[in-house]
Amino acid sequence: MIKHIGILTSGGDAPGMNTALYAVVKTAQQFNIKVTGIRKGYEGLINNDLISLDATTLQSTMHLGGTILKTARCEAFKTEQGRQSAINTINKNKIDALIIIGGDGSFKGAMWLTQLCHIQCIGIPGTIDNDLAGTDYTLGFDTAVNTSMQCIDKIRDTAESHNRVFVIEVMGRDSGYIAAYSGLTSGADSILIPESKNDIMHLVTDIKSYHNEHAFIVVVAEGDETGTDLVCKKIKNENPHIDLRLTKLGHLQRGGNPTSNDRMLAIGLGSLSVHALIEYKTGMMAGIVNNKYCLTEFEHVIKKHEIANELENLISIFCGS
Ligand code: ADP
Ligand code: F6P
């Protein structure tokens, strides 16, 4: 029987992580299960850096962005020595099971813990990039999209006033989801994402017929292979008289209080993870698919997440030439 769960947040922080922590501890409390926080992702597991968690305290931080547990990108966890220290921490503290909140990298680590060390693990998708299979949405994505959309709206105000072209870079290490959602919802003229190869050709065609009589907004995902510098160069090559500005939104997209959608997702998935552990499930990520909570094996989750066909179609209707 599970008596003690360890929980950590790993990789890039994402709004909704604190809500998920609260949901896990609150659910565990109903089954008299103790929950211990592991600080700074896998680094805390290696260094035995633990804090006890209680639902009343977490209730006052569940609405905040970031992660109160802190997070890290921990290279040492990829080494034999680092992993052995992690196992020692788990054994020493009599932790029966782990909940890992993070992205695909974090779940590769969790896969190692479950498959080679037989430690019971459930994952919760926490990344603004929305780049995991096994869930339609990841914690933080909705908040990041709303932030990016509001920033693009503001840029449009000044772009319209000057009839300027703006190239705006949004986050997404290998994923165009933030670009697609924030670009479509802010009426962008062009959206460039890593999953689609022809969009730069459409942009070049569209910019040929642009005559400085209104704003022109280009949203580029950070992971797009063309990159914003080359996009700007191509625009200038087509028309040197264009009044062009480049804005990189950067890490402000990762902060802020989670939206109600992200909080609801965190509450549902946090609670599901505890129930899954009680039912002796392991090696799986909790997610939401077609509005239903579900569990998917880590190996399926970390496969490259394709962008939905419907989304690509919308981009070509609204931002195609
Ligand atoms: P994310 O989880 O957001 O994708 P990272 O890719 O940075 O973020 O991964 C987070 C952490 O997960 C890494 O710093 C490392 O500690 C661990 N990790 C990533 N890949 C592996 C791997 N192949 N094996 C073991 N641990 C890994
Ligand atoms: O994975 C989330 C993410 O915000 C990506 O969109 C971005 O490329 C990366 O993290 C940035 O990482 P860091 O905070 O380490 O610079």
User: Are the folds of 4-140+258-300 and 142-254 the same?
Assistant: yes
Determine which one of 104, 129, 131, 206 is catalytic.
Answer: 129
pLDDT digits (tens, 9 = 90+) for 100-132: 999 999 999 999 999 888 999 999 999 999 999
CB-count exposure of residue 284 (10 Å: 0-12, 13-18, 19+): buried
Q: How far is the CA of 202 from the centre of ligand 1 (A)?
A: 36
The whole-chain average pLDDT of the chain stands at 95
Side-by-side strand order, sheet with 97-102: 50-52, 34-38, 4-9, 97-102, 120-125, 284-289, 292-297
For residue 321, what pLDDT band results from cuts at 50, 70 and 90? low
Task: Looking at the CA of residue 178, tell me the nearest atom of ligand 2.
Answer: 6
**How many Å apart are CA 226 and CA 163, to the nearest integer?**
24
pLDDT digits (tens, 9 = 90+) for 1-58: 999 999 999 999 999 999 999 999 999 999 999 999 999 999 999 999 999 999 999 9
Contacts 24+ apart (CB under 8 A), 152-155: 152/182, 152/183, 152/186, 152/188, 152/217, 152/219, 153/186, 155/217, 155/247
pLDDT digits (tens, 9 = 90+) for 216-274: 999 999 999 999 999 999 999 998 999 999 999 999 999 999 999 999 999 999 999 99
pLDDT at 198 over 80: no
Q: Which CATH architecture has domain 142-254?
A: 3-Layer(aba) Sandwich (3.40)
pTM: 0.97
Q: Would you kindly state where each structural domain of the chain is located, as residue ranges?
A: 4-140+258-300, 142-254
Q: Please tell me the CATH code under which domain 4-140+258-300 is placed.
A: 3.40.50.450
